[in-house]
């Protein structure tokens, strides 16, 4: 068990060294970016796991590798990955010939995360429409609800248009993938 851990740590260090990386600098980046994500509202462990995946050359790590890199328990990795998968920020995949899972961050994770928000906005819009109907559009609460609904409808349309512009921009800057 200890031998496997040392082997994993050495593999991660080799990967980082192959890209001429300073392991301490990578660790500082992971913690710094994770702190920014936490400040924006993400939970701490998912933020750290996401930053670690994002900063790895492969964009993927096993639970054990993440645990070793971040010095956290398998349970902490599992909870973080579950949250990130629900947010469409990481995916799970099986290692060929193994029962172990690898967790992967994709180059379009932000696109997926924002696109997933559209579903949430649609549900909120439906609930707000019911609120306007229930409260009456001519009451102060109904007008407040109608303004909130109008805001979410506006944001929904802007996100859709922005995502289309992003697809075009991404293809121009990075080529078709």
In sequence order, which residues have a C-beta less than 8 Å from that of residue 38 and are 6 or more positions away?
44, 47
Pairing of strands 60-62, 101-104: antiparallel
pLDDT digits (tens, 9 = 90+) for 97-149: 888 889 999 877 777 777 777 788 889 999 999 999 999 999 999 999 999 99
For 62-106, how does the pLDDT look when each residue is reduced to its tens digit (9 = 90+)?
999 999 999 999 999 999 999 999 888 899 998 778 888 899 998
CA distance 33 to 17: 21
Cα–Cα distance between 122 and 43 in angstroms, integer?
Answer: 24
Q: How many CA atoms lie within 13 A of 123 on its CB side?
A: 4
* Alpha helices by DSSP H, 19-70: 23-39, 44-55, 63-70
pTM above 0.85, yes or no: no
């Amino acid at each position: 068990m200890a031998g496997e851990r040392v082997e994993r740590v050495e593999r991660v260090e080799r990967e980082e060294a192959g890209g001429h990386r300073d392991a301490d600098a990578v660790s500082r980046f992971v913690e710094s970016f994770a702190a920014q994500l936490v400040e924006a509202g993400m939970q701490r462990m998912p933020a750290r796991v996401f930053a670690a995946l994002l900063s790895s050359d492969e964009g993927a790590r096993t639970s054990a590798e993440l645990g070793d890199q971040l010095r956290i328990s398998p349970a902490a990795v599992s909870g973080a990955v579950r949250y990130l998968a629900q947010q469409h920020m990481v995916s799970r995949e099986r290692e060929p010939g193994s029962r172990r899972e690898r967790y992967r961050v994709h180059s379009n994770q932000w696109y997926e995360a924002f696109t997933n928000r559209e579903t949430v906005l649609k549900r909120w819009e439906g609930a707000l429409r019911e609120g306007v109907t229930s409260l009456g559009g001519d009451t102060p609460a109904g007008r407040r609800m109608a303004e909130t609904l109008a805001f979410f409808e506006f944001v929904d349309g802007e996100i859709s248009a922005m995502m289309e512009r992003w697809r075009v921009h991404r293809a121009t800057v990075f080529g078709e993938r």
